[in-house]
């Protein structure tokens, strides 16, 4: 006599129905598989599709500790068909947070709340990583909705009375992002050494939490981006100034140390491919004026040499007066340029990606290997399944949600 059992996920920390194949897997074997739903293998790790969740700051942590907000926010994506999730910018030291309520991984007590989220995502068959970060000269600022309450033109700096640390902000040089941000202290050699140790300790905690991959944040005007850009790095030592190799030296040093400490799993790096400042990237005399795609190509090549598995290509965030032509996929041409320069390196495209047909074209044409979505997934967490429907493909929804799709 046959018996029918609602099979559980084996070895999970709670009972969860087993989804076979995993949620978000392609099912329509009778037709060509869309590029978005092709699998991807990085350092031996298989991702079920090419739709990744971008890191999204939630400004909702309790002294750096993840809360049930993060479990619900991240867990919701894990049940809705994405190929992978990257948790938000997570500071490796307290002063590396963007805002007082940002996520952290500088102490052991922050590991267990993260592990709970990782375990849930794994029980749903979804890969999950974390973005390790230091905000640099853009640290000790308000959460966006707090800043909105302050009003237009108000200071972005979170004071000590507002749980900030404006006198403990660091960057490559003592240049503020703007007059509304803290004035940073130029990092000393010892402070660089200490930060390298903090990244290595954070990686050890990532391993204990069970993350599948790590992304290092080198974009949006935060510490590593501010080191590579001549607009924010005017040091006169081996870590700064006009020579590109000097400005890349400290970020590459941290990447190298992290790669060696995280040898068996994928390592991503998010970069800003352009400062979007006025004028050329390089003048006729060969002087680098701002950070742009030509230096990004060189930087990306160095990252690949160090064993980075994927470059997550964003832009902007380092020049307060930036002017960006916002439209669907407005940053994809940067990813395409990096992919063309380094065809064997996986590249991710980001930036107001909303339309499934456009997203499919980016991957199918080879402009990028994956797409990272954020705001569109906030509006529509089931975007992966909607994309499959629009592409005429059949993709596995969660058992519990099947009746809404089939």
Q: How many CA atoms lie within 13 A of 205 on its CB side?
A: 25
What's the CA angle centered on 393, arms 387 and 397, to 5 degrees? 70
Rounded distance, CA 205 to CA 200, Å? 9
Residue 141 φ then ψ, to 5°: -120, 170
* Helical H segments across 231-328, by residue range: 244-261, 293-305
Beta strands in 362-405 (DSSP E): 370-373
Rounded distance, CA 128 to CA 290, Å? 34
Rounded distance, CA 311 to CA 343, Å? 12
How many other C-beta atoms can be found within 10 angstroms of the C-beta atom of residue 205?
A: 22
Map residue 348 onto helix, strand or coil: strand
Paired with 216 in beta bridges are 132, 269
222 is catalytic: yes
Interhelix angle 244-261/293-305, nearest 10 degrees: 30
Structure tokens at 77: 């994506």
Tell me which residue of 214, 252, 216, 245 sits closest to 230, measured CA to CA.
Answer: 245
For the chain, how big is the Rg over CA atoms in Å? 21
Tell me which residue of 36, 19, 5, 46 sits closest to 125, measured CA to CA.
Answer: 19
Taking a C-beta distance cutoff of 8 angstroms, is the pair 51, 26 a contact?
no
Structure tokens at 142: 């308000």
Q: Identify the DSSP state of 4.
A: -
Rounded distance, CA 386 to CA 391, Å? 9
Taking a C-beta distance cutoff of 8 angstroms, is the pair 101, 64 a contact?
no
Paired with 85 in beta bridges are 53, 128
Bond preceding residue 21 cis, omega within 30 of 0 = yes
Map residue 131 onto helix, strand or coil: strand
Please identify which of the residues 170, 222, 239, 362 carries the catalytic annotation.
222
Report the catalytic residues.
222
């Amino acid at each position: 006599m046959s018996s029918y059992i609602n099979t559980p996920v084996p070895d999970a920390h709670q009972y969860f129905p087993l989804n076979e194949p995993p949620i978000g897997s392609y099912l329509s074997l009778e037709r060509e598989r869309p590029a978005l739903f092709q699998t991807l293998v990085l350092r031996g790790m298989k991702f079920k599709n090419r739709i990744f969740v971008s890191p999204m700051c939630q400004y909702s942590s309790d002294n750096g500790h993840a809360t049930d907000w993060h479990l619900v926010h991240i867990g919701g994506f894990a049940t809705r068909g994405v190929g992978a999730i990257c948790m938000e910018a997570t500071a490796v030291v307290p002063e590396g947070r963007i805002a007082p309520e940002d996520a952290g991984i500088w102490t052991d007590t922050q590991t267990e709340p993260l592990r709970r989220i990782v375990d849930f995502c794994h029980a749903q068959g979804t890969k999950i990583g974390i973005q390790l970060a230091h905000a640099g000269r853009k640290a000790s600022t308000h959460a966006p909705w707090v800043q909105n309450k302050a009003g237009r033109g108000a200071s972005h700096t979170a004071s000590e009375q507002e749980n900030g640390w404006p006198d403990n902000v660091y960057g490559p040089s003592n240049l503020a992002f703007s007059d509304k941000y803290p004035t940073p202290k130029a990092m000393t050699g010892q402070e660089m050494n200490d930060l390298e140790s903090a990244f290595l300790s954070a990686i050890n905690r990532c391993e204990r939490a069970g993350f599948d991959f790590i992304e290092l944040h080198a974009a949006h005007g935060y510490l590593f981006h501010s080191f590579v850009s001549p607009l924010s790095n005017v040091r006169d030592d081996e870590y700064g100034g006009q020579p590109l190799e000097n400005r890349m030296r400290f970020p590459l040093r941290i990447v190298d140390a992290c790669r060696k400490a995280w040898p068996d799993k994928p390592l991503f790096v998010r970069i800003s491919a352009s400062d979007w400042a006025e004028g050329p990237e390089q003048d006729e005399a060969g002087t680098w004026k701002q950070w742009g795609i030509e230096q990004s190509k060189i930087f990306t090549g160095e990252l690949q040499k160090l064993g980075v598995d994927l470059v997550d290509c964003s832009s902007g965030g380092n020049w307060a007066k930036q002017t960006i032509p916002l439209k669907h996929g407005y940053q994809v041409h940067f990813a395409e340029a990096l992919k063309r320069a380094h065809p064997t390196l996986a590249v991710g495209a980001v930036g107001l990606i909303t339309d499934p047909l456009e997203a499919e074209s980016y991957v199918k044409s080879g402009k990028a290997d994956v797409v990272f979505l954020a705001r569109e997934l906030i509006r529509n967490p089931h975007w992966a399944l909607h994309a499959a429907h629009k592409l005429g493909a059949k993709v596995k929804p969660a058992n519990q949600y099947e009746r809404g799709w089939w």
